[in-house]
Amino acid sequence: MSQNEKTATTEEIREVDISKISVNPYQPRRHFGKEEIEELADSIKSVGLIQPPVVRWCETRRYYELISGERRFRACHVAGLTKISVIVRDSDEFFSAEAALIENIQRVDLNSMEISRALQELKQFGLTQDDLAKRMGKKRSTIANYLRLLDLPIHVQQKLEQSEISMGHAKAILSIERKEDQESLCKLIISKGLSVRESENRANEETAPPPTQMIPPKVERDIHLDHVVEKFQQKLGTRVTAQGSSEKGKLCIDYYSLEDLERLMGIMGVEG
């Protein structure tokens, strides 16, 4: 590389060996579909690379690091290109990481987990949630919701990344405290095909406090009344219950047949 190339301070287009380009470690996108890369490679073979990837020169490592355009870079590899045009930007590691993450976060095809991990990477550079919201042009609550996804169990994160559950489902799962219960709800959502609203209802059932049991008021025993009832039972030879007190109330005398009733009437001197 010439001295002029090494001391460039503005963006410029150069043609470089593709073998001297390395991917950005802060690239948030983890999955590149084979079919989309092959389709882009066919397009590059046909009409060329219309929009060059953006890179920075790493002096200590003596290679170019991608800032953005990894999908195009991969497609150029598949197309068999040995040299490609790139836009070289004079920037340090922080700027490169920030630019790569923010530019890629704004891609519509990033899934929720890729966005949340990218935001977490940016926080490591000292950016607050307010800073991220301003740079992303989003509400702070949106940033907070994405970062909360990293609190999900790994298994649930994988299901979200694989689009087996949605961001709305994930928020419902996060409303449950215990990790075991979160995983159980995730499995139920997938197996039953629950909607977000149904998932929220299930989560509310898990977090609702147990119903308060009604404790009947303690009734003070009337010792005198108990004694009277016992005397009645001994005299009549059947079950007798009392409601009220020794001053006022009701007596209930059990009988079990017509003959039993007539027997009780005879004991009490009642004529039939």
Domain with residue 189: its CATH number is 1.10.10.2830
Do 228 and 168 have their domain in common? no
Do 88 and 28 have their domain in common? yes
pLDDT score of 60: 80
Do 179 and 88 have their domain in common? no
Residue 30 pLDDT more than 60? yes
Residue 271 lies in a domain: no
Do 147 and 85 have their domain in common? no
Residue 72 pLDDT more than 70? yes
Tokens of 210: 């147990």
Do 24 and 100 have their domain in common? yes
Q: How far apart are CA 85 and CA 217, in angstroms?
A: 86
Do residues 55 and 70 make contact, with C-beta atoms less than 8 angstroms apart? no
pLDDT average, residue stretch 145-163: 94
Taking the CA atoms of 30, 24, 110 and 154 in sequence, report the sign of the dihedral they define. positive
Highest-pLDDT range among 3-17, 27-41, 94-108, 218-232? 27-41
Q: How many domains does the chain have?
A: 3
pLDDT score of 26: 76
Do 31 and 106 have their domain in common? yes
| Distance set, CA 5 to CA 52, 85, 89, 113, 230 (Å) | 17, 14, 11, 38, 111
Residue 237 pLDDT more than 90? no
Residue 54 lies in a domain: yes
Do 102 and 161 have their domain in common? no
Identify the CATH number of the domain in which residue 12 sits: 3.90.1530.30
| Distance set, CA 59 to CA 19, 69, 210 (Å) | 16, 21, 64
Q: Which of 265, 218, 270, 228 is nearest to 249 (CA)?
A: 228
Point out the catalytic residue in the list 11, 38, 70, 206.
70
Of 110, 141, 169, the last residue of a domain is 110
Residue 116 lies in a domain: no
Residue 177 pLDDT more than 80? yes
Do 43 and 88 have their domain in common? yes
Between residues 14 and 125, which one has the greater pLDDT? 14
Do 81 and 152 have their domain in common? no
| Mean pLDDT for the chain overall | 84
Do 161 and 98 have their domain in common? no
Residue 215 lies in a domain: no
Residue 189 pLDDT more than 90? yes
Percent of the chain scored above 90 by pLDDT?
A: 40
Residue 172 pLDDT more than 90? yes
Do 162 and 248 have their domain in common? no
Residue 8 pLDDT more than 70? no
pLDDT band at 216 (very low <50, low <70, confident <90, very high): low
Residue 210 pLDDT more than 80? no
- Share in percent of the chain as helix, strand, coil (round to 5): 50, 15, 35
Residue 270 lies in a domain: no
pLDDT band at 272 (very low <50, low <70, confident <90, very high): low
Of 82, 110, 138, the last residue of a domain is 110
Q: How far apart are the first and last CA of the chain?
A: 126
Do 232 and 171 have their domain in common? no
Residue 99 lies in a domain: yes
| SS3 label, residue 76 | helix
Residue 6 pLDDT more than 60? no
Q: How far apart are CA 239 and CA 101, in angstroms?
A: 83
Q: Which of 33-47, 110-124, 176-190 has the lowest mean pLDDT?
A: 110-124
Q: How far apart are CA 152 and CA 172, in angstroms?
A: 11
Q: How far apart are CA 24 and CA 100, in angstroms?
A: 8
| Residue 98 bears catalytic tag | no
Residue 216 lies in a domain: no
pLDDT score of 160: 94
For 239, the domain range is: 223-260
Residue 65 lies in a domain: yes
Of 110, 140, 156, the last residue of a domain is 110
